Amino acid sequence: MRIEAIALIAIALLLLTAGCTQPSGTTPTTAAPVKDLRIGYQPSTHQMAEITAMEKGWWQQDLAPLGVGNVSDKVFPSGPPEMAAMQAGELDVAYVGAAPVLTALATGLDARIVAGVNTQGSDLVVRNDLDYTGPQSLKGTTIATFPAGSIQDTVLKDWLTRNNLTPDKDVFIKGMAPGDAVTAIIAGKVEGIFLPTPSPSTVVNQGKGKIVVHSGEMYPNHTCCVLVVSGKLIREHPEIVRQIIATNDRAVAWNKLNRDEAAEIYAKKTSANVTDVKASLSEWDGDWASDPNVIVSPVLDYATIQYNLGYIKKPLTKEEIFDLTFYQKS
Amino acid sequence: MADRGGGVMGKLEIRNLSKAFPREDGSSLVVLDNISLEVQDKEFVCILGSSGCGKTTLLRMIAGLDSAESGSIVLDGEKMKGTDARVGMVFQEYSLFPWRSVIDNIAFGLEMQGMTKDDRYRLAERYLKLVNLTQFRDSYPSELSGGMRQRVAVARALALDPVLLLMDEPFGALDAQTRNMLQKELLEIWEATKKTVVFITHSVDEAVFLSDRIIVLTPRPGRICQVFPVDLSRPRDRTSPAFAQVRREVLDLINLNCSIQ
Amino acid sequence: MDEVSTIAGKVQRVKDHWPGILAIILTLIAWHCYAIFLIRNRFLLPGPVDVFFAFIALLQKGVLLSDFRVSLIHFAIGLGGALLIGIPIGIVMGWNSRMDAFLNPIIEILRPIPPLAWIPFAIIWFGFTPVSAGFVIFMGAVFPILINTYTGFRGVSRIFVEAGRMLGCTRTRDQIRYIAFPAALPSVISGIRIATGVGWMCLVAAELFGVSNNGLGKDLWFFYDLHQMDSVVVYMILLGLIGLVIDMIFRYYIEGRFLKWRTGEVA
C-alpha cells in the first residue's frame, strides 16, 4: 500500500510543477551576446565556402565585432543527421541540402533558409561494365545515395519516376553516408551511386566507375545546398545573420578565383584526395550562388515532391521555409 | 537374473601390481607397491585402509580406469585391459546422470549395447524392483535422497550383469542409519545375484559386517599388510559379542601393524 | 463453479502483478506529462499519445509486419550461423586440450572486437544482402555460444565420463553425445540465450546500412532521417518487446523443457 501512496504523491507533484513552467520561446528576452556560434557542414565541395572561411579565419574575423566569442564548425556525413542536431539545439547555422531542411521544418524545426549555397553538382556514377544508354539501363540495378529525405534521394527518385521507373521496384535505392556508398561501388556491391562532388571523382579516379548523368540533367538548376539559420539567431541577432551571408559570399568569390588553393584547403580539412577534389571542380555542373529569391520556386517544388513521397505530413508554405530579408544583392 | 552356469565365474587374480604417479618435481609418488591377491568367485571382499593408502587407485585399476604399467590383473583367465563389460562399478557419489530419469540411468548400459527401448526398460525395471525403487521410476536424481541415489547406482551397475562388482565407498557420504540399511540391502542383492564383490571402505564396522575377507592395506605406499578372514555366519548381528570380538581384532591389527610405516 | 474459480484465479493473478502494472501506468503518465508540459517539443520527446497514433498509422500501412518478417530473417541467419559454428568449435575446444590450446589465442583476439566494427567488411564481403546483416548479428552471437559451450564441456564432471565408460560408453563420439553434451546443456542453453540478446541488439546497427529496404532497424533509421521521432519510438518499443519475448521463450519454454532435471538442485 505504501508504494501506491508514494506514487500518487509523485504524480500530484509532477502535475503541479508542470503547470508552473514558463512556455519556452515566446517571451522576448534581452538578446544575450552569442558566445559560441556553431556551424554545421558536410564534406562536399558544394560547401567549400564554409571550409575556406573557417580555415582562413574569416568567420572569426567578421563576426567578432558583432559580439561573437567563438566560431566552431562540425561535420556531418549527410543532411538528415545535421538537421537532427540543429533540431536538438546544437547548431546555429547549417550548410545543408534543401530537402533535409524541409523534413525538419515539417516536424517543428525552428529555423529558416536565408540564402542559397549552390545549385546542381551531383552525379550519377555507374560501374564501368554497365552499358548506359539511358535511364532504362538502370532497370534492376541498385543505386546508393544519401538517406531518405535528402536532395539526392528526392531528385533521383523524382527523375526515375518521371522516366517510368518505380523506385524500389524497378530500381533499388539504398540510403547511406557518402563514404559507405563509395566503398560499396568500389567493392562492386552496388551498380551505381548518386552523390554530390567530390565523391564521383573519387570513384572515377579509382577506375571503378564512370559519370553518366549530372543532376542538372535530371532537374535543371535544381537547388542543392542552402544556408539555414536558427530561429533564435534570426530573432535575436539579425545583424549576425546578415554578416554570415556576406562572409559566405566573400569565401565563394575567393574560391572561384583561387580554385587550386581552395581545393587544397578543402582536401586538408576533409582528408580527401587533392587530385579527386581538383578533378571534381572541373567536371561538376554546379554553381555556388547565394541569392535565395531564385531558389524559392524550386524549393517549394521539393516540398511538393516530398509531400507526394509521403516524407512530410503537410505541405509547407514560403513563409514557413524562407526568410528573405537578410540577403542583400551586392 | 542371468543364469551363470557353464564356466562363467568371477575369479579375480592380481599379480605384482604397482602404480606410481609422476610428481611436479620430476620424482614419482609410489601409490601401490607390489599388490598380489586373489578374489574367488562369488566372494565378498573388502579392502580396508585409511585415506591415501591407494585403495581407490587399486579399484580404478581393476576397473580399467587407470592403467597398470607393471603387474597384471586377470579376470577368469583373461587379462584385463581398459574397461571391461564384465566389470561394473559403483562410485562414491554424484555418479548418476542428473539429466536422465532413474529408469534411463539404469538402462544406460543397455542402451549403449544397442538394446531396443522396450527391451531395456523391461530389464531395467527388474533391477529397479531389486533395489525397491519402483515408484521412483520416472523421478530425477535431484529428487532423490542420497541413499536412494546410491541404490539406483547399484541397479545401474548390475543391469549389465557383470561378474565382478566394484564399489568405491558407496555408502561413505550417507548417515549411519541409511548406511546400515543399505549394507543389509546390498548383502541381500549379493546373495540373490551371486556376484563377486570388491568393496572399498575405511570403516572397520562396515568391513566386518559385509565381507568374507578383509584385505588391509598400509598407508602410502599401499601394500597388503594382512588378509583377515571373517568367519562369522550370515546374517550377521552387529550387536553380538562375536561381532565385537572380530572388530576388536581387526582394529588392533590395523593400529599395531598396519598404520605408520 | 468453474467460472467462479477462474475469475477468482484471474483476479489473483492481477493482484500479484499489481505493483508491476502500476509502475508501467505511472511511467506512461509521467512520460505524457513530461513531454506535454515540460519538453513541449515533439522532436526532442514525443509523448505516448503521439507514439500511439504513429503506431496505428504504421500498422495500417502494413509496414510493421513486413519489417518484422525481414528482421526475423536477418536474425535467423545470424543466430543460425552462430549455432552451426559456435557449438561444434566449443565442443572441440572443451573436449580436447590440444585444440583448446591451438584455437584459444585466435578466439581471444577476435572476441573483443565489437560486432559493429565488422560492418565495413560485412558490406564489402556480402554486399547488401540479408547475409550481410546476418553476418553482423553472427559476430555478436557466436562468441557467447562458443564460450558457454566450451565452459560447459570443460566443466563436465570426470566422474560422469568414467561411469559412462564402465557402462560401455567408450567411443569419444558416444561420450560426447550421451554424456558430455547433456551435462553441458545448461551452459550451452545459457550461452544461446545470451547470444540471442546480443544478436537482437546488433540488429538495429546491422540493418542501418541499407541492407534491405525493410527491417525494424532499417525503418527506425528511415524515420530518424525524416525527423519523425514518434515513429522512431514505435520501433524502439517494438524492438524491446520482441527482445523480451525471445528471452521469455527461453526462460519459460526452452529451459523448462530441456532443463527440468535441474529443479532439485537450485531452489
Q: What is the CATH number of domain C49-262?
A: 1.10.3720.10
Q: Which residue of B has its CA nearest to C175?
A: B112
Contacts of C249 (CB under 8 A, 6+ apart): none
Burial class (CB within 10 angstroms; exposed 0-12, middle 13-18, buried 19+) of A306: buried
- Spatial contact of A191 and A174, defined as CB atoms under 8 Å apart: no
Residues B202 and B188 reside in one and the same domain: yes
C189 touches B at CB < 8 Å: no
Is there a domain that residue B204 lies in?
yes
Task: Look at residues B143, B161, B179 and tell me which one is the last residue of a structural domain.
Answer: B161
The confidence score (pLDDT) of residue C264 equals 53
Residues B78 and B191 reside in one and the same domain: yes
Residues B26 and B147 reside in one and the same domain: no
Separation in Å, CA A76 to CA A149, A177, A188, A246, C42: 15, 9, 25, 23, 23
As a dihedral over the C-alpha atoms of residue A74, residue A244, residue A80, residue A280, rounded to 10 degrees, the angle is -80
Q: Which residue of C has its CA nearest to A144?
A: C210
Is there a domain that residue A328 lies in?
no
B69 to chain C, closest Cα gap in Å: 20
CATH of residue A194? 3.40.190.10
The confidence score (pLDDT) of residue C211 equals 62
Residues B149 and B167 reside in one and the same domain: no
Contacting chains of B (3 CB pairs or more, <8 Å) are C
Q: Which residue of C has its CA nearest to B84?
A: C166
Residues A262 and A312 reside in one and the same domain: yes
Collapsing DSSP states into helix, strand and coil, what is residue C53? Answer: helix
C162 vs B contacts (CB less than 8 Å): 65, 91, 95
Collapsing DSSP states into helix, strand and coil, what is residue A258? Answer: coil
The confidence score (pLDDT) of residue A55 equals 93
Residues A291 and A156 reside in one and the same domain: no
The confidence score (pLDDT) of residue A15 equals 62
Is there a domain that residue A311 lies in?
yes
Using an 8 Å CB-CB cutoff, list residues of chain B that contact chain C.
63-65, 82-83, 85, 87-89, 91, 94-101, 108-109, 111-113, 140-143, 156-157, 160
C226 vs A contacts (CB less than 8 Å): 80, 103, 107, 148-149, 311-312
Number of compact structural domains in chain A: 2
C209 vs A contacts (CB less than 8 Å): 176, 180
Residues A302 and A248 reside in one and the same domain: yes
Grid cell in block for residue C204: 538495429
Percent of chain C with pLDDT over 70: 94
Contacts of C241 (CB under 8 A, 6+ apart): none
- At residue B19, φ and ψ (nearest 5 deg) are -150, 130
Q: How far apart are CA C48 and CA C27, in angstroms?
A: 10
Is there a domain that residue B7 lies in?
no
**Total CB pairs under 8 A between chain A and C:** 97
Composition of chain C by helix, strand, coil, percent to 5: 85, 0, 15
- The residues spanned by each domain of chain C are 1-40, 49-262
Using an 8 Å CB-CB cutoff, list residues of chain C that contact chain A.
19, 22, 26, 29-30, 33-34, 36-38, 40-44, 120, 123-124, 127-128, 209-210, 213, 221-222, 224-229
Task: Look at residues A218, A251, A283 and tell me which one is the last residue of a structural domain.
Answer: A218
Choose among A18, A80, A148: nearest Cβ to C37.
Answer: A18
Q: Which residue of B has its CA nearest to C156?
A: B97
Q: How far apart are CA C37 and CA B177, in angstroms?
A: 74
Mean pLDDT value across residues C172-187: 94
Contacting chains of C (3 CB pairs or more, <8 Å) are A, B
DSSP label at C209? T
Mean pLDDT value across residues C186-212: 86
C166 vs B contacts (CB less than 8 Å): 63, 65, 83, 87-89, 157
Higher pLDDT, C184 or C261: C184
Is there a domain that residue B92 lies in?
no
Task: Look at residues A161, A194, A218 and tell me which one is the last residue of a structural domain.
Answer: A218
- At residue A32, φ and ψ (nearest 5 deg) are -80, 150
Structure confidence at residue C195 as a pLDDT band (50, 70, 90): very high
The confidence score (pLDDT) of residue C239 equals 92
What DSSP line would sit under A51-101, residue for residue?
Answer: HHHHHTTHHHHHHGGGT--EEEEEE-SSHHHHHHHHHTT--SEEEEEHHHH
The confidence score (pLDDT) of residue B219 equals 82
Residues A180 and A152 reside in one and the same domain: yes
Percent of chain A with pLDDT over 70: 92
Contacts of C86 (CB under 8 A, 6+ apart): C141, C142, C143, C144, C145, C146, C149, C191, C195
C170 vs B contacts (CB less than 8 Å): 82-83
Is there a domain that residue B4 lies in?
no
Residues A257 and A169 reside in one and the same domain: no
pLDDT by residue (tens digit) across B143-202?
Answer: 999 999 999 999 999 999 999 999 999 998 899 999 999 999 999 999 999 899 999 998
The confidence score (pLDDT) of residue C20 equals 85
Decide if C227 and A80 are in contact by the 8 Å CB cutoff: yes
State the angle between helix axes of C130-154 and C181-208 in degrees (0 to 180), rounded to the nearest 10.
150
Residues B242 and B148 reside in one and the same domain: no
Residues A208 and A236 reside in one and the same domain: no
pLDDT by residue (tens digit) across C124-152?
Answer: 888 888 898 999 999 999 999 999 999 99
**Interface predicted TM-score (ipTM) of this complex, two decimals:** 0.90
Q: Which helix (H) or strand (E) holds C42?
A: none
Q: Do chains B and A touch (3 or more CB pairs under 8 A)?
A: no
Residues A126 and A200 reside in one and the same domain: yes
Grid cell in block for residue C222: 528511415
Is there a domain that residue B1 lies in?
no
Q: Which helix (H) or strand (E) holds C146?
A: helix C130-154
Encode chain B in three state secondary structure.
Answer: CCCCCCCCCCCEEEEEEEEEEECCCCCEEEEEEEEEEEECCCCEEEEECCCCCCHHHHHHHHHCCCCCCEEEEEECCEECCCCCCCEEEECCCCCCCCCCCHHHHHCHHHHHCCCCHHHHHHHHHHHHHHCCCHHHCCCCHHHCCHHHHHHHHHHHHHCCCCCEEEEECCCCCCCHHHHHHHHHHHHHHHHHHCCEEEEEECCHHHHHHHCCEEEEECCCCECEEEEEECCCCCCCCCCCHHHHHHHHHHHHHHHHCCCCC
Is there a domain that residue A330 lies in?
no
Q: In terms of Cα–Cα distance, which of C253, C242, C255, C252 is closest to C197?
A: C242
Q: Which residue of C has its CA nearest to A109?
A: C43
Containing structural domain, residue A173? 122-218
Residues B211 and B131 reside in one and the same domain: no
Residues B51 and B109 reside in one and the same domain: no
- Spatial contact of C202 and C116, defined as CB atoms under 8 Å apart: yes
Decide if C183 and B94 are in contact by the 8 Å CB cutoff: no
pLDDT by residue (tens digit) across B17-64?
Answer: 888 888 888 888 888 888 999 999 999 999 998 877 788 999 999 999
Length of chain A: 330
C163 vs B contacts (CB less than 8 Å): 89, 91, 95-97
Task: Look at residues B114, B133, B161 and tell me which one is the last residue of a structural domain.
Answer: B161
Residues B240 and B167 reside in one and the same domain: yes
Residues A177 and A162 reside in one and the same domain: yes
The confidence score (pLDDT) of residue C227 equals 85
Residues B232 and B175 reside in one and the same domain: yes
Does B5 score more than 80 pLDDT?
no
- State CA C143 to chain mean position distance: 13
Containing structural domain, residue B208? 12-86+163-256
Is there a domain that residue B143 lies in?
yes
Percent of chain B with pLDDT over 90: 61
**Helix locations, chain A, DSSP H:** 2-18, 48-55, 58-63, 79-87, 98-106, 151-162, 178-186, 199-205, 215-218, 231-236, 238-257, 259-270, 274-283, 296-309, 318-321
10 Å Cβ neighbour count for B192? Answer: 10
- Spatial contact of B259 and B246, defined as CB atoms under 8 Å apart: no
Residues A133 and A93 reside in one and the same domain: no
Higher pLDDT, A118 or A20: A118
Mean pLDDT value across residues B79-100: 89
Residues A116 and A230 reside in one and the same domain: yes
A19 to chain C, closest Cα gap in Å: 7
Q: Which helix (H) or strand (E) holds C172?
A: helix C172-174
Residues B22 and B49 reside in one and the same domain: yes
Q: In terms of Cα–Cα distance, which of B6, B20, B12 is closest to B67?
A: B20
Q: Which residue of C has its CA nearest to A12?
A: C30
Mean pLDDT value across residues B59-83: 87
- Spatial contact of C184 and C94, defined as CB atoms under 8 Å apart: yes
Q: How far apart are CA B138 and CA B209, in angstroms?
A: 33
Separation in Å, CA B180 to CA A186, B212, B248: 81, 17, 19
Higher pLDDT, C236 or C13: C236
Decide if C33 and A24 are in contact by the 8 Å CB cutoff: no
A28 touches C at CB < 8 Å: no
Number of compact structural domains in chain B: 2
The confidence score (pLDDT) of residue A20 equals 46
Structure confidence at residue C90 as a pLDDT band (50, 70, 90): very high
The confidence score (pLDDT) of residue C252 equals 82
Residues B131 and B204 reside in one and the same domain: no
Task: Look at residues B161, B178, B196 and tell me which one is the last residue of a structural domain.
Answer: B161
Using only the alpha carbons of chain C, give its radius of gyration.
23
Is there a domain that residue B6 lies in?
no
Mean pLDDT value across residues B248-253: 90
Grid look-up 548523368 returns A213
Q: Which of A70-84, A227-241, C28-42, C107-121 has the lowest mean pLDDT?
A: C28-42
B259 to chain C, closest Cα gap in Å: 30
Residues A110 and A229 reside in one and the same domain: yes
- Strand order across the beta sheet in which B28-39 lies: B28-39, B12-22, B70-75, B78-79
Q: How far apart are CA A174 and CA C73, in angstroms?
A: 19
Task: Look at residues A218, A241, A270 and tell me which one is the last residue of a structural domain.
Answer: A218
Q: How far apart are CA C147 and CA C191, in angstroms?
A: 7
pLDDT by residue (tens digit) across B111-137?
Answer: 999 999 999 999 999 999 999 999 999
- Spatial contact of A287 and A118, defined as CB atoms under 8 Å apart: yes
CATH of residue B198? 3.40.50.300
Residues B72 and B189 reside in one and the same domain: yes
Does A26 score more than 50 pLDDT?
no
Is there a domain that residue A1 lies in?
no
